[in-house]
Amino acid sequence: MFKKLFLLWLVVGSLAAQAQTKKPVPAKKPATPAKTANPAATSFKNLNDSLSYAMGLSAGQFLKAQGVENLNYALLNKAIEQTLGEKSTSFDMQAANGVMERFARTSVTKKAAAEKEKGRQFLLQNKKKAGITETASGLQYEVLTAGQGAKPTSSDTVVVHYAGKLLNGKEFDSSFKRGQPLTIPVAGVISGWTEALQLMPAGSKWRLYIPSEQGYGDMGAGRDIPGGATLVFDVELLEIKK
């Protein structure tokens, strides 16, 4: 993914951003004109100057979003000049893609490690709270509603309502809001859920605190769940289907 985006940013980066349809937002007060940079800071003599700066700005924004904090700008400029001038380059594209993939893996690992440490610190404090139970695996839960039904096994299918959040409170999914419970096999979900569901009597509603190792690991899931994230789920076990 990283290498594909890197190769495409020059062509589609700014155009795609402009082409996106924005949802109208009701204005509460007249908009304040955006502050612009001092026009004297950079001199643009012609369209080529403006294009050069715009391309650099677009590239910088993209690279920053990918976690690039610093580059050897002399080598960056050299590679661009060699490519545009159709001169011999030190890497072919296969080698260049390999370098970018190595960076992407390193970046993912670094970000995931930071997320896991945040989760570790949270869980250390959370387990001290009244009503919190921690299992041998590190899963934590609290009983919001105590059910009186049977407990599912790993071979069962269950019907549940749930809402998932990150530690910062951002909700990434909710069947409660959709008004449609989820029917799933107990063994077909993340391991934190599989463990918790087998401890829950039907009719229960629990809050689960799931370490990343029992969630989505270092890779995360989609755009909303970062790698290494500790997750908080409210899960209501509605029915066990044998």
Q: Which of 2, 80, 156, 173 is catalytic?
A: 173
Question: Is 173 annotated in the active site?
Answer: yes
Candidate list 162, 209, 218, 240, residue with the active-site label: 162
- DSSP character at residue 187: G
Active site annotation includes 103: no
Structure tokens, 71: 């580059």
Task: Establish whether 224 is a catalytic residue.
Answer: no
9 φ/ψ angles, rounded to the nearest 5 degrees: -60, -35
User: Among this protein's residues, is 225 annotated catalytic?
Assistant: no
Angle (CA) 141-147-149 rounded to 5° is: 125
190 a catalytic residue: yes
- The DSSP call for residue 150 is P
Active-site option among 210, 225, 233, 240: 233
Residues 6+ apart with CB under 8 A from 39: none
* Selected catalytic residue, list 122, 176, 190, 234: 190
Say if CB 237 and CB 202 are below 8 A apart: yes
Catalytic member of 6, 209, 216, 218: 216
Distance CA 130, CA 121 (A): 17
CA distance 188 to 66: 32
Among 132, 172, 184, 234, the one annotated catalytic: 172
Residue 209 is among the residues annotated as catalytic for this protein: no
Residues involved in catalysis: 162, 172-173, 190, 216, 233
